[in-house]
Amino acid sequence: MAVLKENNLLNSLSQMGVGLGAKNQAFELLKGMEFPTRKTEDWRYTSVKKILKKKYVQFNEAEQVDLSNEIAPPLDAYNIVLVNGVYSKELSDINFPDEIVVDTFPNALEEHVSLIHSTFNVIAKNNEEIFTALNTSYFNEGIFIHIPKKVKLNKSIHVIHVNTKSNVVSNVRLLVVADSFSEVSVIQSFASKNAVECLTNSVTEVFVKENAKVVLDKVQSEESNNNLICTVQVNQKANSTFKINTATVSGDFVRNGVNIDVDGENCISEMNGLYMQKGVQHVDNHTKVSHLKPNCTSFELYKGVLRDKSTGVFNGKVIVEVDAQKIEAYQQNRNIILSREATMNAKPELEIFADDVKCSHGTTTGQFDEEAIFYLQTRGIGKESAQALLVEAFADEVLDKVDSEELRIWIKEKLG
């Protein structure tokens, strides 16, 4: 299509083969796709024009970087580091327990080709999401995590993405397969150091098999003028638990897509998000939970604080199919506006085709109660400090969903 041929983003990319036929299939799909506009329903509040106009470079080799606490907190975790979209063996932990697999796709293909080919790109929506198709066609690095049956990893796996060069485009991939009765916690953090005008396009696929549990924490703290698109696709089987916590600290343009197919009975799905934007930053959170089987529960809580001229979007959709009886689905979005020029667009949705369900959704957007601020002022607290205390209390409801105390503290420090 002409739209694809005329923008700088696509012209900046060069196809890199890793022996996966899915790349060629996605590349063929791209020929019939166009980038979204404001007329595209799922993008009506978010324009991609500015990220398409920029010129990018793609790196093939990792560079050295000082992983300060600002980029990589001192967590009790295994670190996997990608610099400018490329895996860095020197900066990563390679001494994992023998029973689990954590490796790049090219290496993992040599010993786990059957498992990768049966999972990679199986639940990604290349035909529906152009940025997912772009990632599949052009990804420059992918990390594969396999937790075998009944294995419970006692430390988190922290996948660190950091850009150190300006105008970098990083198409990064993560595939997590948690077999039956296994448990794993994965952290994904996105940051930059002395780099501007970057674009990171991340796609994560997560398979949560029967009775397995996966927790995914995402921390997004890109510097100003950097852009981030994160897509997470999840498939849950019977009696499984999946939880995702997303903290958007900063970033000029951030788009988060979380799509969960609950394909088994007695599952628990939980999504939590916190975004605190300032300046002219834009954050867009899109979530979709598809309940395909009965007797499942999903919870969703997204909260945002918008300052200056920042803009926010929340579009949460819960779909309950006709055979998915006895579903409980709860969705809530709350926002605080701290400036007359800040904007929030919220659109919670329910599509229910079953008749024996308990589902609710709601959204609120407003300012802090002036009486609460005045109350704190009467006790000797300045107006700005009072406002900061109320912001912290507002955010804590989401941050408390993060299991790791070390990670919670680090996120709070970054939020200021």
The reported pLDDT for the residue numbered 18 is 42
The reported pLDDT for the residue numbered 6 is 40
> Residue 8's pLDDT band (boundaries 50, 70, 90)?
low
Q: Which of 184, 173, 190 is nearest to 231 (CA)?
A: 173
Q: Report pLDDT digits (tens) over 50-59.
A: 899 888 988 8
Q: Residue 79 corresponds to which amino acid?
A: N
Q: Give percent of the chain with pLDDT exceeding 90.
A: 71
Q: Looking at the whole model, is its pTM more than 0.95?
A: no
> Residue 4's pLDDT band (boundaries 50, 70, 90)?
very low
Q: Does the structure show a pLDDT above 90 at 173?
A: yes
Q: What is the average pLDDT value for the chain, to the nearest integer?
A: 90
> Residue 330's pLDDT band (boundaries 50, 70, 90)?
very high
CB contact at 8 A, 205 and 177: no
Please tell me which residue, 393 or 206, carries the higher pLDDT value.
206
CB contact at 8 A, 217 and 404: yes
- Cα(2)–Cα(107) distance, integer angstroms: 37
56-65, 280-289, 379-388 — which is least confidently predicted? Answer: 379-388
Please tell me which residue, 379 or 184, carries the higher pLDDT value.
184
Mean pLDDT of all residues in 295-316: 97
Mean pLDDT of all residues in 242-258: 97
The reported pLDDT for the residue numbered 391 is 83
HEC profile for the chain?
CHHHHCCHHHHHCCCCCCCCHHHHHHHHHHCCCCCCCCCCHHHCCCCCHHHHHCCCECCCCCCCCCCCCCCCCCCCEEEEEEECCEECCCCCCCCCCCCCEEEEHHHHHHHHHHHHHCCCCCCCCCCCCHHHHHHHHHCCEEEEEEECCCCECCCEEEEEEEECCCCEEEEEEEEEEECCCCEEEEEEEEEECCCCCCEEEEEEEEEECCCCEEEEEEEEECCCCCEEEEEEEEEECCCCEEEEEEEEEECCEEEEEEEEEECCCCCEEEEEEEEEECCCCEEEEEEEEEECCCCCEEEEEEEEEECCCCEEEEEEEEEECCCCCCEEEEEEEEEEECCCCCEEEECCEEEECCCCEEEEEEEEEECCCHHHHHHHHCCCCCHHHHHHHHHHHHHHHHHCCCCCHHHHHHHHHHHC
The reported pLDDT for the residue numbered 109 is 82
Mean pLDDT of all residues in 115-136: 92
Most confident of 15-19, 106-110, 209-213, 371-375: 209-213
> Residue 375's pLDDT band (boundaries 50, 70, 90)?
low
Q: Give percent of the chain with pLDDT exceeding 70.
A: 92
CB atoms within 10 A of CB 89: 10
Q: Which residues pair with 24 in a beta bridge?
A: none
- Cα(99)–Cα(155) distance, integer angstroms: 14
Q: Residue 72 corresponds to which amino acid?
A: A
